Amino acid sequence: MGAVEKPRDALPVTAGWEYASSLEGREIVSFEERYGLFIGGDHVTPRSRSWFTTVSPSTEEPLAEVAQAGPRDVALAVEAAQEAFERWSTWRPAERAKVLFRIARVLQERARELAVAESLDGGKPIKESRDVDLPLAAAHFFYYAGWADKLEYAFPGRRPRPLGVAAQIVPWNFPLLMLAWKIAPALACGNTVVLKPAETTPLTALLFADVCRQAEVPPGVVNIVTGDGSTGAHLVRADGIAKVAFTGSTEVGKAIQRELAGRDIPLTLELGGKAANIVFDDCALDQAVEGIVNGIYFNQGHVCCAGSRLLVQESIHDQLVRKLKRRMATLRVGDPLDKNTDVGAINSKAQLDRITELVQSGTDEGAELYQPPCRLPEKGWWFAPTVFTNVAQSHRIAQEEIFGPVLSVLTFRTPDEAVEKANNTMYGLSAGVWTEKGSRILWMADRLRSGVVWGNTFNRFDPASPFGGYKESGFGREGGRHGLEAYLRFE
Ligand code: NDP
């Protein structure tokens, strides 16, 4: 009797088997009951006398009380940074490099603790905070430590000088990593900083204050003011700042640009995205499926450069969608501290509502929704991995940034059509191209209006590689030698 043949693209059967949970130790991190602001090297009580509670999105458990900085607090932080700038900017660059190097080493030493804190406060799976956020955050400090005493070589024939106090505002999707992207180049160039973390994820920035103490960062060189959007607005308006760097929504980015109009303050904006992940019929299909899954379900899709639009060549559409659905059925949604978890919690109730609303619009506009069967935890904020087929370019789910685990599938026939559809968005942050032909990757990269184009991979980051957008994805570059330029003036 012949054996029953499995379909060639079948995955091993998982039904009936359960993973044993493998929890990362929660006890490695202990939060204070209440955090003040980090100003001039000290934790200070906010003048505003106001606090808010930060909760874990996976359990809704309160984690700590955090200060809500008002205008007076922000002004004090900027004053502390101005005072520190007088000395820090005159340090020998090689000495500044040592400070950055020490920060990188302390981040490595405390990686486990910081990864757990990041997953608790933000909801991302521990395997991501442990294997992506922390190693990359440390790598950014190592990388820019290397540049600190070589600025003259980075810009031959020009005399680079620091700007002064950099006001830096970061979002909730990569709290510590975005902090590293901002603070490392600013300090390497001799600036001092006032950083505002997002309201829902302030804890790793507050732990970073302790990393600064351990690394002997001089008082006032790094200041951290927590609070909601109003704290960010006070920071942008503050007297004494010499630079603004913002990562977040296009809407707030535009508001900041308006606020700075007429003031001679350089600005970098890293805003939203609606990346096209473009799959040609000659690609390694299983590898592409992995790239698609990584592109959209990594960090619950809370990624500005997420591959949220899948453009697939018509001839392989059905086969690819079938493989993708099978792969999605193996994704494990649940406790961020479980090392087996692939998709963690949605960062906040507000973000969950936004995702739910946009997904509803997809169904209403006629796209076809698929979600693999999965049990979502009862407490906390969750959304199952989702894919929409039969999507039209005019649908909101093909135009707007959902910032959740939701993929929209569209088709194309020719490379020209793929380029046209990929560029048919107000954003221009990233794109992916999957094909066996190297020449086609280069041809596409030339025509895609995206700051980053990945070839046969997705969501790859390296401190040496510049990152940033076109169109409404913002301007300026972070990372690499280009990332230094944003924090320098030239004599
Ligand atoms: P925001 O742009 O509001 O938040 C980013 C940062 O800016 C946060 O620290 C926020 O503070 C702060 N902020 C808010 N308002 C102001 C202001 N007027 N002036 C200065 N700073 C301000 O993003 P949201 O959290 O509201 O997310 C909304 C949408 O934005 C998401 O659904 C997603 O589409 C997109 N987004 C894009 C990101 C990206 O990396 N490109 C990152 C985050 C969101 P606070 O958190 O306290 O409100």
**pLDDT confidence of residue 7:** 45
Question: For tokens 């808010």, what's the residue?
Answer: 52
**pLDDT of the residue at 2:** 38
Residue 346 scores a pLDDT above 60: yes
Q: How far apart are CA 482 and CA 195, in angstroms?
A: 21
To the query of whether residue 304 is one of the catalytic residues in this protein, the response is yes
Residue 109 · residue 132 · CB < 8 Å: no
The two tokens of residue 436 are: 């066996």
How far apart are alpha carbons 247 and 425 in whole angstroms?
19
Query: Which pLDDT does position 248 carry in this prediction?
Result: 98
Q: What CA–CA distance (Å, rounded) separates 429 from 256?
A: 19
* Ranges in the chain annotated CATH 3.40.605.10: 34-271+471-490
* pLDDT score for 16: 63
Question: Ligand 1 in contact with 355 (CB < 6 A)?
Answer: no
Cα 78 off chain centre by? 25
pLDDT higher than threshold 80 for residue 3? no
57, 138, 366, 381, 459 from 125: Cα distances, Å: 12, 19, 32, 14, 16
Tens of pLDDT, residue by residue over 91-128, are: 999 999 999 999 999 999 999 999 999 999 999 999 99
Q: According to CATH, where is 3.40.309.10 located in the chain?
A: 276-455
| 273 CA from centroid of ligand 1 (Å) | 13
Dmax (CA) of the chain: 85
CATH number of 34-271+471-490: 3.40.605.10
Q: What is the pLDDT of residues 225-241, one digit of tens each?
A: 999 999 999 999 999 99
Question: What is the Cα–Cα distance from 184 to 137, expressed in whole angstroms?
Answer: 9
Contact assessment for residue 298 and residue 457, using Cβ atoms and an 8 Å cutoff: no
Among 170, 252, 461, residue to substitute to test ligand 1 (most atoms within 8 Å of Cβ): 252
User: Which residues are CB-contacts of 183 (< 8 A; sequence separation ≥ 6)?
Assistant: 168, 193, 195, 222
Q: Which of 212, 283, 304, 305 is catalytic?
A: 304
Ligand 1 pocket residue status of 422, Cβ below 6 Å: no
- pLDDT > 70: percent of the chain: 97
Which tokens sit at 414?
């020719």
**CA–CA gap between residue 106 and residue 263 (Å, rounded):** 37
CA distances from 418 to 98, 390, 478 (A): 47, 16, 28
> Which residue, among 243, 213, 199, has the nearest Cα to 67 in the 3D structure?
199
Which residue matches tokens 């031959």?
A: 156
- Asked whether 358 lines ligand 1 (CB < 6 A), one says no
C-alpha 377/C-alpha 340 separation (Å) is 15
CATH superfamily of 276-455: Aldehyde Dehydrogenase; Chain A, domain 2 (3.40.309.10)
pLDDT of residue 12: 53
Summary mean pLDDT of the chain: 96
Helices (H) and strands (E) in the chain, counts: 17, 20
pLDDT bracket for residue 424 (50, 70, 90)? very high
Give me the DSSP letters along 151-172. HHHHSTTS-EEE-SEEEEE--S
Asked if residue 478 has pLDDT above 50, the reply is yes
The CA 290 to ligand 1 mean position distance, Å, reads 29
pLDDT digits (tens, 9 = 90+) for 259-275: 999 999 999 999 999 99
270 is catalytic: yes
pLDDT exceeds 50 at position 6: no
11: pLDDT confidence band, cut at 50, 70 and 90?
low
Question: In terms of Cα–Cα distance, which of 183, 178, 247, 267 is closest to 221?
Answer: 183
